[in-house]
């Protein structure tokens, strides 16, 4: 599992959406790291939305759903919402199956 991340200080361009990229195979161990990464992306930002690019998620499963649900909770606590970008059909179907299709 990997996610794209810039090095150094986060510079947020108010005209560009904040994007969190999730790629590869997602595991339960990724939850804390990705939640912290989201907190860092939103720190000091007045962003109301984060685009979560999931096009490169490999073999979406319930761990992927857990990561997305946790990220949504973190974002909501920080006054923001998550929008999925380019979800693979398997992930969209899985989110609908567990009742989260309308949330994302």
| CATH code of the domain containing 49 | 3.30.750.24
% of the chain at pLDDT higher than 70: 86
Taking the C-alpha atoms of residue 53 and residue 2, their distance in angstroms, rounded to an integer, is 12
Taking the C-alpha atoms of residue 72 and residue 50, their distance in angstroms, rounded to an integer, is 10
Domain count, the chain: 1
Domain range enclosing 40 = 27-97
Angstrom CA distances, 23 to 2, 13, 92, stand at: 5, 23, 15
Structure tokens at 5: 């991340």
pLDDT digits (tens, 9 = 90+) for 20-58: 999 999 999 999 999 999 999 999 899 999 999 999 999
Please report whether residue 55 resides in a domain. Answer: yes
Please report whether residue 1 resides in a domain. Answer: no
Taking the C-alpha atoms of residue 21 and residue 2, their distance in angstroms, rounded to an integer, is 8
What are the backbone dihedrals phi and psi of residue 57, each rounded to the nearest 5 degrees, phi first?
Answer: -70, 130
Please report whether residue 2 resides in a domain. Answer: no
60 confidence band (pLDDT: 50, 70, 90): very high
98 confidence band (pLDDT: 50, 70, 90): very high
Please report whether residue 89 resides in a domain. Answer: yes
Please report whether residue 74 resides in a domain. Answer: yes
């Amino acid at each position: 599992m990997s996610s794209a991340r810039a090095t150094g200080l986060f510079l947020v361009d108010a005209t560009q959406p904040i994007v969190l990229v999730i790629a590869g195979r997602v595991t339960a161990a990724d939850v804390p790291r990705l939640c912290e990464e989201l907190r860092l992306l939103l720190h000091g930002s007045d962003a109301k939305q984060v685009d979560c690019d999931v096009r490169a998620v490999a073999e979406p499963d319930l761990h992927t759903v857990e990561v997305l649900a946790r990220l949504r909770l973190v974002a909501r606590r920080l006054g923001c919402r998550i929008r999925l970008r380019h979800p693979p059909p398997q992930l969209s179907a899985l989110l609908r199956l567990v009742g989260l299709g309308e949330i994302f």
